[in-house]
Amino acid sequence: MQPIQHQMMGYDRAITMFSPDGRLLQVEYAKKTVRLGNTAIGLVYKDGVLLVTDKRIVDKLVVPEAIEKIFQIDDHIIATAAGIISDARVLVEQAQVKAQQNKVVYDSPVDILAIVKHICDVKQMCTQSGGLRPFGVSFLIAGIDESGKKLFETDPTGIYYQYKATVIGEGEPEIDEILQKEYKDGMTLEEGLKLCIKALKKVLDSNFNVERVDAAYVDAHHKKMTKVGKDRLKKLLQ
């Protein structure tokens, strides 16, 4: 007699119920949602941190500039997400409040790790409380604080890791392979942008269009978010 599938036993009906092999199936479903989300790439370059993401424009009548996929949490911290973007927006707004509270109380910019931990705490709480569902979103959070350039990735469970370069969303295995082979310490901003666009082109193939690309960086000299203009992106494609 074959073993009954977990789903048939109902182990995926409640977030607080472990399966016999110690898994929270609802959390694993949330991770699958992230893998179906828009592609987002982050990397640390010589003078700062860079995020590049696919806006995934599904309707030609949509105004591309109105789609926001890179968020500013504070002057020196930016983030992008893959998965359910409405979930991401709620968490970003909480992170923005946290950053402003830090500024008011301590009169100094918030540490990037404090923002990462705050987002992860909220995510983790939703994996152990009945009546809730996990946040179906992963984040790339990048910025520059007193301890230097930082790039973190968070997943729906509330785990976070620090990276030199990483990717979330659709096409993650293919882009990760490119980053493993071609990322180098000390890359310039232009080299980083070229690498990210090359990776996006490989995944999107014939669907690639510069209008789909959203890119922003935080430079060590100014420590402020700067958007990469479409003209600059088009030059990199030539």
Residue 218 has pLDDT above 60, yes or no: yes
pLDDT grade for 235, boundaries at 50, 70 and 90: confident
Global pTM reads 0.92
Task: State how far the Cα of 44 lies from the Cα of 61, in Å rounded to an integer.
Answer: 35
Is residue 88, in this structure, part of any structural domain at all? yes
Bigger pLDDT: 67 or 3? Answer: 67
Domain at 159, CATH number: 3.60.20.10
Query: Which structural domain range is residue 139 located in?
Result: 26-217
Does 237 fall in a domain?
no
106 inside domain: yes
Residue 176 within a domain: yes
Per the domain annotation, does 183 fall within a domain? yes
